């Protein structure tokens, strides 16, 4: 059967299936499948994808790493970029042909205390792209028009994709460290998130110390403007950070090993703020005495609001952020995950559907 979606002013557009990478079971390889094309509901749009970044969160999702799990079968992906091809009912603020992205914050209720007070990222009724709603690891996806990301003119389809999660997450996370221009911030974990975090921190006027366990990633951080780069496998990073700078005013952890989280606390100077973006399953030990006596603030930070997204994209559009990207095909997804698990990806892998 062929479904036909017609939109005012646009030619009738007809196709009945799409190709997607589907998680059928946690920990199993994703299956490349033909799925029925979804029809956009009220205030939704159907988007033909051009690119999608691959975030480590997609790997956590596919492995069922977190206490709150998605429900297989599902399609991961929340750094998708493409073109609106059909509109559901009630849409007067988006047109066929517009360039949009999906995001982790696929929708929120818009009415609860969190939504009303600028904390829509904490909405208990939120839907998440590639987790509770099918995402961008497919040739088409649905977006919620109220939360879909409007992509600035002139954006490169491949480079802009990582901004939609990695970019907005670290931009918000850096703001949450409350580090001011001229002060020191440590970025722990120089992967997809961390390598753009170094660039945002520099653009925001901060001095950057990078921490990773891989020398190639530290070399990338240095090229991107980190003044100090420390290997946590071979260096006592806390001691070295304090010796060289007096300690960090802010610390942003984007690493995927719990060990980095306890270690991050030791990087901070007295009064410092440590923000956790990374989400490995697990726990870490922390000294209550050090936290109290040093008046440390430790907080989590989850993606960013729509306004944070506008700001994060604006840094990109002004040429201040240039994600380091390698393209691949949808069929490569299991290989990408395999390399991601081993820390073998420099920057971000982006699926190119074109």
Residue closer to ligand NAD (CB basis): 2 or 234: 234
Number of amino acids touching ligand NAD (CB under 6 A): 35
> Binding partner of residue 130 among ligand NAD, Zn ion, none, CB under 5 to 8 Å per kind?
none
Indicate whether 29 belongs to the interface with ligand NAD (CB under 6 A): no
| DSSP secondary structure letter of residue 40 | P
> Binding partner of residue 115 among ligand NAD, Zn ion, none, CB under 5 to 8 Å per kind?
Zn ion
Residue closer to ligand NAD (CB basis): 266 or 280: 280
Cα–Cα distance measured from residue 29 to residue 51, given in angstroms and rounded to the nearest whole number: 21
Indicate whether 303 belongs to the interface with ligand NAD (CB under 6 A): yes
Indicate whether 115 belongs to the interface with Zn ion (CB under 5 A): yes
Q: How many CA atoms lie within 13 A of 150 on its CB side?
A: 13
Cα–Cα distance measured from residue 231 to residue 210, given in angstroms and rounded to the nearest whole number: 9
Indicate whether 168 belongs to the interface with Zn ion (CB under 5 A): no
> Binding partner of residue 256 among Zn ion, ligand NAD, none, CB under 5 to 8 Å per kind?
ligand NAD
> Binding partner of residue 108 among Zn ion, ligand NAD, none, CB under 5 to 8 Å per kind?
Zn ion
Indicate whether 345 belongs to the interface with ligand NAD (CB under 6 A): yes
Cα–Cα distance measured from residue 36 to residue 203, given in angstroms and rounded to the nearest whole number: 43
* Binding region for ligand NAD (CB under 6 A) out of 90-98, 147-155, 300-308, 329-337: 300-308
Closest CA to 233 of 251, 208, 216, 254: 216
| SS3 track for 145-205 | CCCCEECCCCCCHHHHHHHHCHHHHHHHHHHHCCCCCCCEEEEECCCHHHHHHHHHHHHCC
Residue closer to ligand NAD (CB basis): 254 or 273: 254
Residue closer to ligand NAD (CB basis): 142 or 210: 210
Binding mask 205-244 for Zn ion (x = CB under 5 A): ----------------------------------------
| DSSP secondary structure letter of residue 74 | B
| DSSP secondary structure letter of residue 27 | T
Cα–Cα distance measured from residue 90 to residue 88, given in angstroms and rounded to the nearest whole number: 7
Binding mask 36-75 for Zn ion (x = CB under 5 A): -------------------x-x------------------
Indicate whether 306 belongs to the interface with ligand NAD (CB under 6 A): no
Q: Calculate ∠ Cα 349-352-354, nearest 5°.
A: 170
Indicate whether 161 belongs to the interface with Zn ion (CB under 5 A): no
* Binding region for Zn ion (CB under 5 A) out of 106-114, 134-142, 233-241, 270-278: 106-114
Cα–Cα distance measured from residue 142 to residue 76, given in angstroms and rounded to the nearest whole number: 13
Cα–Cα distance measured from residue 261 to residue 251, given in angstroms and rounded to the nearest whole number: 10
Contact positions vs Zn ion (CB under 5 A): 55, 57, 108-109, 112, 115, 123, 165
């Amino acid at each position: 059967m062929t479904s036909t979606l017609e939109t005012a002013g646009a030619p009738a557009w007809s196709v009945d299936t799409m190709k997607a990478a589907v998680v059928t079971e946690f920990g199993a390889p994703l299956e490349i499948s033909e799925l029925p094309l979804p029809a956009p509901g009220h205030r939704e749009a159907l988007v033909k994808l051009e690119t999608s970044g691959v975030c480590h969160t997609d790997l956590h999702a596919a492995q069922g790493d977190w206490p709150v799990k998605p429900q297989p079968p599902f399609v991961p992906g929340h750094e998708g970029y493409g073109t609106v091809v059909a509109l559901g009912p009630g849409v007067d603020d988006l047109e066929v042909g517009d360039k949009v992205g999906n995001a982790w914050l696929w929708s929120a209720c818009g009415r609860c205390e969190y939504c009303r007070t600028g904390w829509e990222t904490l909405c208990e009724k939120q839907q998440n792209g590639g987790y509770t709603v099918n995402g961008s690891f497919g040739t088409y996806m649905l977006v919620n028009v109220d939360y879909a990301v409007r992509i600035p003119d002139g954006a490169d389809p491949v480079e802009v994709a990582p901004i939609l999660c990695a970019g907005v997450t670290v931009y918000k996370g850096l703001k949450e460290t409350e580090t001011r221009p001229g002060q020191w911030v440590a970025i722990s974990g120089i992967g997809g998130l961390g390598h753009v975090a170094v660039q945002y921190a520099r653009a925001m006027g901060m001095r950057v110390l990078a921490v990773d366990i891989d020398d190639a990633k530290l070399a990338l951080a240095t090229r991107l403007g980190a003044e100090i780069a420390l290997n946590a496998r071979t260096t006592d990073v806390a001691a070295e950070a304090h010796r060289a700078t007096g300690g960090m005013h802010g610390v942003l952890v984007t690493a995927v090993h719990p060990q980095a989280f306890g270690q991050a606390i030791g990087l901070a100077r007295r009064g410092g703020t440590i923000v956790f973006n990374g989400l490995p399953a697990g726990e870490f030990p922390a000294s209550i005495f050090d936290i109290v006596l040093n008046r440390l603030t430790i907080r989590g930070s989850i993606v960013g609001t729509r306004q944070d997204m506008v700001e994060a994209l604006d840094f990109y559009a002004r040429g201040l952020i240039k994600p380091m990207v390698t393209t691949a095909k949808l069929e490569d997804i299991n290989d990408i995950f395999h390399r991601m698990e081993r820390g073998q990806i420099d920057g971000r892998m982006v699926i190119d559907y074109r």
